Amino acid sequence: MTRDDAWKTFDRTAADAGRTRIVDQFAADAGRLERMSVEAAGLYLDLSKQSWTREAFEACLDLARASDVEGRRAALFAGEAVNLTEGRAVLHPALRAPVGADYQALGEPVSAEVDAVRAEMQAYAEAVRSGAEAGATGKRFKAIVHVGIGGSDLGPRVVWDALRPLDPAIDLRFVANIDPRDMAEALTGLDPETTLVVVVSKTFTTQETLANAEAAKAWLAAALPEDGLTKHFIGVTAAPGKAAAFGCGRTFAFRDWVGGRYSLWSAVSLSCAIALGWDVFEGLLNGAAALDDHFVSAPLEKNAPVLLALAQVFNVDGLNRPARTVAPYAHALRRLPSFLQQLEMESNGKRVHRDGTPVTRQTCPVVFGEPGTNGQHAFFQQIHQGPQVVPAEFVIVARTHEDAPESPLWSNALAQGQALMVGKTTEAAKAEGLAQGLSEEEATRLSSHRTFTGDRPSTAILMERLTPQTLGALIALYEHKTFVEGVIWDINSFDQWGVELGKVLAKAILKDVHDGGPSADLDPSTAALMTRLMQ
Ligand code: F6P
């Protein structure tokens, strides 16, 4: 089947899908739950509450086949230049492969180097934890300040929040924002003698990170002997020369085939490996590697990242639903929506195909979310009753450390999915009002306000416990899902030209400010804003 034919069938089945309510499709297709659920690397995905009929589901799989998901997956794992605007391989799976693997980037073997950096990281992390690697005045490190932004920040933040002990022996704080308040908050209560600063930047040119690294350096320099500063200053980068020139005493490197938003498996997570312990970091890698194995070997119809991607493509392109909300029902996963915003929107928020021609369909939806149950009391009103349908994704942990065994936490997640799908008719709403003692007139008047149309899709992703392994698998699941969507949309998921223009203009505006005011070629609105801000 050609891609064009596959898209045509996709469109036809999508148009038909709305005719049968999701809840009625279970009766129409006895195998629905089994067909539309999958297990992978400790995760269970239920996609049976999506809007697709059996026919539409099959059409989505045909679209994946016609888009050559399998061929493009093989190219990624073979280290071909799948990031074709930058001529780079994309090999984050190599970073979490077992020691002794055999990955190649553009034909060059890389696994030995990956193993060597991992061994260096482990030795350093263990030395910091044991106190063998100490600060300039001989004191043990008690805190790490991780400085980085975007992909050099969001992944390690998710990992730390998800897996941190309540009372860690080594505290870990993150600074990303160029607003000095961020650094000021992070440094509050810390002692320079016992603080390690890890500066993470793939390029080592990012304005925010360099400004924050300078601020951290000044803070350390005010309290420490000058010749001891380097012991407190570690770089993680693909540009080791720049990190050394900046004053990092030690540098952990990674290569340009590691995309920023796919980099948490590299030395980018050094601070987590130190603060959580090496076993935890290794568990995270192992969980992701297990998901990699699943992704490369499971047939498309039972392939978790593929099915998750297809549900999204179906919602966005088939049913014109250009947003998705993600609600992790585990407080420890509260950073997941922020991480996914970068992973998905920076990867797939693209307007041209790989060959540069404009896309003719939708690509990445808006991704947003809050942890459950907080989101329920904020924007879920709109998800239940707003005129536009926003698909929801519930990430559910069966047993969190603190939750009661009967789990009010995941009970709420199930209730949300059920309410979205089943809804409440106007008749039922009226009967409820009457049962509550309202008059006939009042019950009738309120019934439309209390009606839920239902038939709104959701996906559930379950894990028994949030462990390093299941977290690694979950993040890898989302990475591969993002890749599969890019394949179906025929876009390059691995560049991010869209962030460049703003960076260039910010420099020009800063120059204008230094020069005393707006330059003549600035548009009237921006010039007036600048003038106001300068007053
Ligand atoms: O501005 C976006 C971006 O380029 C991201 O892609 C990247 O993760 C982030 O900036 C940080 O870049 P670096 O690691 O080079 O400092």
Global pTM? Answer: 0.97
The pLDDT, as a whole number, for residue 400 is: 78
In this structure, are residues 473 and 291 in contact, taking their beta carbons and an 8 Å threshold?
yes
Alpha carbon distance 402, 431 (integer Å): 39
pLDDT tens readout for residues 199-211: 999 999 999 999 9
CB atoms within 10 A of CB 431: 13
pLDDT at 126 over 90: yes
pLDDT tens readout for residues 132-141: 999 999 999 9
Residue 260 CA: nearest ligand 1 atom is 8
Residue closest to 144 by CA, chosen among 277, 271, 264: 271
pLDDT tens readout for residues 223-253: 999 889 999 999 999 999 999 999 999 999 9
Residue 500 CA: nearest ligand 1 atom is 1
Alpha carbon distance 51, 56 (integer Å): 9
Q: Nearest residue CA, atom 1 of ligand 1?
A: 499
193-198 mean pLDDT: 98
Q: Among residues 80, 208, 344, 346, which one is catalytic?
A: 346
pLDDT at 404 over 80: no
Chain length of the chain: 535
Structure-block tokens of residue 23: 């809840």
Residue closest to 153 by CA, chosen among 195, 213, 239: 213
pLDDT tens readout for residues 420-451: 999 999 999 999 999 999 999 999 999 999 99
126 tagged catalytic: no
Cβ-Cβ contacts under 8 Å for 126 (sequence gap 6 or more): 132, 278
pLDDT at 403 over 70: no
Q: Nearest residue CA, atom 10 of ligand 1?
A: 150
Burial, 11: exposed, middle or buried (Cβ in 10 Å; 0-12, 13-18, 19+)? middle
pLDDT tens readout for residues 279-327: 999 999 999 999 999 999 999 999 999 999 999 999 999 999 999 999 9
Ligand 1: residues with CB < 6 A are 149-152, 201-203, 206, 209, 260-261, 346, 496, 499
Q: Among residues 377, 402, 441, 514, which one is catalytic?
A: 377
113 tagged catalytic: no
Lowest mean pLDDT of 153-167, 265-279, 395-409, 508-522, name the range.
395-409
Q: Nearest residue CA, atom 3 of ligand 1?
A: 150
- Tell me how many helices (H) and strands (E) the chain has: 23, 13
Burial track 73-92 (b if 16+ CB lie within 10 A, e otherwise) = bebbbebbbbbeeeebbbbb
In this structure, are residues 140 and 130 in contact, taking their beta carbons and an 8 Å threshold?
no
146, β-bridge pairs: 174, 198
49 tagged catalytic: no
